[in-house]
Chain A
Amino acid sequence: MTGRTVAEKIIGRAAGTSEVRAGEVVEAYPDLLMSHENTYLVSKAFRELGVKKLYDPDRIAIVLDHRTPANTVETATAHSHIRKLVHDSGIKRFYDVGEGICHQILVEEHLAKPGQLVVGTDSHTSTAGAVGAFATGIGATEMAGIWATGFLWLKVPETIRIHMRGHLEKAVFPKDISLHLAAKMGPSRAEYKCIEFDGIFLFDVSISGRMVLCNMATELGAKAAIAPADSTFSTWSPEHCGQMGHTCKSDPDARYCESMELEVERIPPMVSGPDKVEAARPAEKFEGIRIDQAFIGTCTNGRLEDLIAASWVLKGNKVAPGVRLLVAPASRDVLSTAMDMGVIQTIVAAGGTILPPGCGPCLGAHGGVLGSGEVCISSGNRNFKGRMGSPDSEIYIASPATVAASAIVGKVTDPRGWLTVDL
């Protein structure tokens, strides 16, 4: 019998059996259940179920991040409803307006751990794969079912292994790798599958960078993405490395449906857009496209490393006249540390506007929506038509350094001329 992938091990453990294989359907009990504003819909479906008690309130984490502070009366009412529910049901892990983005909180607060099965009512739940968890997105009604019963049905996915070698060049970041993969693989190559990142390059990649790779795997169609917990993880989180068991790594003879080799040295700064994430090409091919707004933030690229990269580009420069630079740190902790380091001061001095920690304008609900005919370059994960506002606006996505360089020039700009130091 061949060995097992990390996905097979984690789902098998959560289903109470050690022998599950890709293709099998199991009833699995997730270790962590995350929801955000759509907790409102979860609780509505939960009430319809007629169940009085939560299966286990200690597995639940709720983070308000999508429309924070509230953008409408309806949102404010939904927030109030969620606060009452949290209070009445004894849910302890609640993160109110301003604490940060759900995917950031799960990792930053060490709620997601290696070897865990994590489900969240958000498609970018895959982000928690950065700490060696199998983390996947589900809908609100499905979450209500898990609140009540503790389990959901899951098909054990096949795994695509992406083996990465080499070192990134200056001004090139994990986001550029993700956009390179999007161009190469398209939006559905990993449909129903798990992506496992490995190779010598992974040692170069911080937890923050791994979060980018796992987050963007959703744009390849992946069900989950995992960077197995290794020495980088144990250095980052010594107090949690003791929980790393045999479930955290694939066996050497595990079966993959596909293995890809990726030489990261050849990847230049990338830009993608408009309308399709797979419309990604080297940044220099987009140079000259005029922008109205530059946005740095989101669950993909709103972390400390990202703000630092942007501030190094912005230092001593000014945002181009007529361009709005918006920056939403991924969490209160990111904001606070960035203030201590002078990063926020640099961004503000360059003409940037700091938004509250949260999703910001990424989903087009508030905090910097786009008008008709406007163009935005964003460090987010999606450039779908109309996502950030008017259906007649355009979104390009790129790394925070590329977004910052573009903000200074007022046009999409390759950051290599602007970021000459090693971070």
Chain B
Amino acid sequence: MTSSGRVWKFGDDVNTDLIIPGRYLSRYDEAHLAEHAMEGLSESFAKEVVQGDIIVAGRNFGCGSSREQAVMALKRAGVAAIVARSYARIFYRNSINLGLHVFESDDAYDAFPDGARVSLDPIGHALTSLDGAKTAQLKEIPHHARKILDSGGLVPHLKGRFGEK
């Protein structure tokens, strides 16, 4: 379950228009969304992000629209997890429902600079620099959300529940 990658660091109140602007939402194509992910904040993100990279951010990540494409764009671009001080609630729910790991952490933001190489242990709730010098604690994901995430998202979770009946 442990994954490692580069830290992409963003500040407070990263809104959904910065993550994926409305002008790209007329096309229902995840690869197209990923090509424009974070375009409002970073010219290099969409070009350089690779599978396993981690976004570290401040407060209220994902505020604004309910557009699920914001999560789709980041997930498709390769983002393995987001570690933020807090989330806007719709973005948080969308991430859980689409199977993207979203952790809250009070200390990750100050611990890691942009570009740091880190490994994420989602079970042990820790984000650690690859040289082992720094570790940030991640808060536990609430139980009901954890169950959905462990199934890979809401669709597989509900299919599992239907199967039990």
Q: Are B90 and A137 in contact (CB under 8 A)?
A: yes
Q: Which of B28-57 contact A (CB under 8 A)?
A: 28, 39-40
A-B contact pairs, 6 of them (CB 8 A): A71-B26, A74-B27, A123-B64, A139-B66, A142-B154, A363-B65
Contact residue among A121, A145, A153, A191 (Cβ-Cβ distance under 8 Å from B86): A191
Interface string of B122-165 (1 = CB under 8 A from A): 00000000000000000000101000000001110011001000
Name the residue among A74, A123, A141, A221 with the largest chain B CB count within 10 angstroms.
Answer: A141
A387 part of interface (Cβ distance < 8 Å): yes
Top 3 A-B residue pairs of the complex, sorted by shortest distance between their CB atoms = A139-B94, A188-B60, A363-B22
* 5 more CB-based (< 8 A) A-B contacts, given A145-B97, A276-B13: A49-B155, A123-B66, A145-B154, A363-B22, A391-B40
Look across to chain B and name the residue whose beta carbon is closest to the beta carbon of A41: B68
CA of A153 to CA of B86 in the docked complex: distance in angstroms?
A: 19
Q: Contacts A141-B68, A188-B13, A385-B18; is A365 near B26 (CB within 8 Å)?
A: yes
Chain B CB count within 10 A is highest, among A121, A139, A144, A365, for: A139
A36-84 residues at the B interface, CB under 8 angstroms: 38, 40-41, 45, 48-51, 67, 71-72, 74-75, 78
- Assess the A138–B66 pair: CB atoms within 8 A: yes
Q: Across the interface, do B13 and A386 meet the contact criterion of CB distance under 8 Å?
A: no
Name A188's contact: one of B26, B27, B66, B86 (CB within 8 Å).
B86
Q: Which residues of B69-115 have CB atoms within 8 Å of chain A's CB atoms?
A: 71, 86, 88-90, 93-94, 97-98
Q: How many A residues are at the interface, by size bracket? A: 35 or more
Question: Which residue of chain B lies nearest to A73 when distances are taken between CB atoms in the complex?
Answer: B26
| Cα separation A188 to B155 with both chains bound (whole Å) | 29
Residue B119, interface by CB 8 Å: no
| C-alpha spacing A232/B98, complex, angstroms | 42
The reply to whether the CB of B67 lies closer than 8 angstroms to some CB of chain A is yes
Q: In whole angstroms, how far apart are the Cα atoms of A75 and B21 in the complex?
A: 16
In the complex, which residues of chain B have a beta carbon less than 8 angstroms from the beta carbon of A364? 17, 21-23
Partner of B26, one of A25, A72, A384: A72
Residues on A with beta carbons closer than 8 Å to the beta carbon of B155: 45, 48-49, 141, 144-145
Which chain A positions have C-beta within 8 A of B26?
67, 71-72, 74-75, 365
- A residues 362-392 in Cβ contact with B at 8 Å: 363-365, 369, 382, 384-387, 389, 391
Q: CA of A141 to CA of B70 in the docked complex: distance in angstroms?
A: 13
Are the CB atoms of A121 and B66 closer together than 8 Å? yes
A108 close to chain B: CB less than 8 A: no
Which chain B residues border A125 with CB–CB below 8 Å? Answer: 66
**Bound complex: CA A221 to CA B68 (Å):** 17
Q: Does A187 contact B (CB under 8 A)?
A: yes
* A192, B154: Cα distance in complex, Å: 21
Q: Which residues of B contact A41 (CB under 8 A)?
A: 28, 68
